[in-house]
A and B are shown apart, each in its own frame.
Chain A
Amino acid sequence: MTEASRRVLRSLVPVICPPEGVPLADAIIEHMELQIGVLPALMRKGIDAGLVAYDVGAMPRYLRRAHKLKGDAAERYFAFWEHGLEPQVQLARALNQLMSLACYEQPSMKAALGFFPEPWIEEVRKKRLTVYADDVRRQDEQILAPDPLRPVRKKEVA
């Protein structure tokens, strides 16, 4: 992703993320880059091109690029894209989704919602291996056990 694209994304953090996410802008953008990196090639190119169009598209109306817009102007411009032509709508949706995902992947955002999956996973993992240890072992053995209903062997059919 180009530095210009990053600038546009950074300018969108206050527009898309809740206020408590704004100080996390760098981490959010970094996360978005990772996520965009695994998207289908066509989609990646579409986002790259869309960000350029979004940035430049602010010029006629605001006489400056989108990444320089602040506050209400930034908000109004994004809303304009959200309700614009189909490609604009698609880009705005994609950015909203990717940035929301990145925002709520930040540890402090998850913690603020009381979402602490790691200790829960650890707790139930231990429970499974203690309370149900015998059943778990039996299933593990069953997976590898020869099947008495499978008598046909290659050497027999050859």
Chain B
Amino acid sequence: MPRVMETPGAARSAAAVGAAAVHEGAKRPRGVFTRHDIHGDTVLDCDVVIIGSGAGGATMAAELTEAGFDVLVVEEGSYYQTRDFTADTSAMVRQLYRDGGATIAMGKPPVYYQEGRAVGGSTVINGGMSWRTPEKILDRWVKAGLDLSAKAMEPYFERVEKRIHVAPMDAEAIGNDNKLLKKGADIKGWDVIGNLRNQAHCVGSNRCAFGCPTGAKQSALVSYIPRALHFGGRVYADVRVERITRHGKRATGVMGRVRHPDGRLGHRITVRAKLVVAACGAIHTPALLVRSGFRSPSGRIGHNLSMHPNVKLIAIFDEPVTGWKGAHQAYQVREFQDQGLVFAAINLPPSVLAMTFPHRGRALGELMQSYDRMVLAGMLCEDTATGRVRTINGHAQAFYQLADADAANLQRGTSLLSELLFAAGAKRIFMPFHRVQELNSPDDARRFADQKIPTRAWELLTVHMMGTAAMGTDRTAAVTDQFGQVYDTDRLVIADASLFPTPIGVNPMETIMALSTRCAAHVIDNAGRLLS
């Protein structure tokens, strides 16, 4: 007999496979439910069920709960709080990243992509870069018929920026790795700007990618989710949604299973809702739609995957850098933004950095002795290729083939970034290839630009997946209308980066939140129709 859950229970169990749920036993806020609270097959009712609690889902939840709707958020990942985020990097990766961060878009080369799987979604593990959609991108979307001009989007951006406290970094929190990046850019005479980030006095623990242990990063976990809870929302963590239920073309709720840390699936959860919002990210939203039997008149669900392929370079300096003390990505080099390239300095703990080197044994040990003198610099490329998310046996699998033009752009960018790092004083630079290549001078960097690098040789990674349920005014070419409503369905809205018609060339979090805010406003304005 299914049960309707109202209050958290007290059951506790030891987690398996090392993915210890560190919040076990800790007090959770009212409205947060986890696997420990679900003791049997369960049926829940609400006005709006939101699948996913990241940038899109959490924002939608806060907006709709504040407007008085009964909102229930379902999240596959677990619920952690700021105090749970420790310096144990591997444990954080196991707990906060989908599949331990080892998710791959198939192609030559493959692209390693990473997604957060926790309450707060990828905002818990991102760098917190908060940039409005560039005007040139919005203009492009306007030309495609969408009412998304900079002026039209202004109130949504403002609203988001206030909520997540988008602000420049405090100067004293900026670490030496970022200072060196800026120094190099200044010497080259290149445009470098202080990053805007969703942080309230970030103090430079440099643990953004593993859960901010100071609470300074205003991820959805500490901003929109508490706001949604404050206005009466509910969050069910540890629940994997298997499908959206429907009656004909009308979405009626979701069905899912409790997910345990070792991957086992437990009790069934059924949520009955007047409106369903899919906000699982650009990889899993299209897969969920497909396995729920929804079809788009355009046939474009899962198509149009953009990834902003990133590459990283490791530079070794003579002087100590101690990059792990100081804010993550305090600056961005924007000199080549109009060519689709943005540079930044990142920092990784020794274990993750060691993974990136092909060296091993004594050679790895000798190289890692320079850890304190290393600067890790990354480059984002606005891609022209698009890939696809396919649903294979119900599971999402991304396919993406780097375009030759994008590979050429990456090569040029890598050369330029190397020049910058040498200008800042780097002595050696390791390049982003399987068979490692080392540069030892600015001349090497310039010569590198002319080398023939096979496309498949690049080592690519990304955290920016976009566009797989793109919005548009033409139902034969897009998946949703400009408010995220899926064409040819009823009561089904998308609110995540799947909506982007094109890549945006900057970090996508604020765009996702702004579009989600706009979609929420549309739901509120049309509540009589959508939520009757």
Contacts and interface: CB of A to CB of B under 8 A. Distances in A.
Interface of A: 14-21, 31, 33-35, 37-41, 43, 75, 89, 93, 96-98, 100-105, 109-110, 113-115, 117-118, 120-121, 124-125, 127-128, 131-132, 135-136, 139, 142-144, 146-147, 149-150, 152-155, 157-158
B527 A125 contact: no
A109 B163 CA distance: 41
B223 A103 contact: no
B69 interface: yes
Contacts of B88: 105
B364 A100 contact: yes
Contacts, number: 177
23 contacts: A16-B361, A17-B361, A18-B365, A38-B17, A38-B18, A38-B19, A38-B99, A39-B99, A40-B102, A104-B353, A105-B88, A120-B325, A125-B205, A127-B203, A136-B200, A139-B165, A143-B223, A144-B226, A147-B66, A152-B67, A154-B47, A154-B68, A154-B69
A43 B69 CA distance: 42
Given A35-B100, A146-B66, A154-B527, A109 B201 contact: no
Which among B67, B88, B434 has the greatest number of chain A C-beta atoms within 10 A? B67
Given A109-B350, A157-B528, A125 B203 contact: yes
B404 interface: no
A19 B216 CA distance: 39
A150 B66 contact: yes
B68 A113 contact: no
A144 to B, nearest CB: 5
Interface in B306-337: 322, 324-325
A21 B218 CA distance: 38
B405 interface: no
B28 interface: no
Contact of B230 (A34, A98, A114, A144): A144
A153 B201 CA distance: 33
Given A19-B365, A100-B357, A120 B94 contact: no
B13 interface: no
B205 A124 contact: yes
B294 interface: no
Contact of A18 (B63, B214, B361): B361
Contact of A105 (B69, B89, B165, B204): B89
A57 to B, nearest CB: 19
A17 B359 CA distance: 10
B150 interface: no
A72 B89 CA distance: 33
Given A37-B262, A105-B351, A121-B87, A113 B67 contact: no
A91 B263 CA distance: 24
B373 to A, nearest CB: 11
A15 B213 contact: no
Contact of B528 (A135, A146, A153, A158): A158
A105 B90 contact: yes
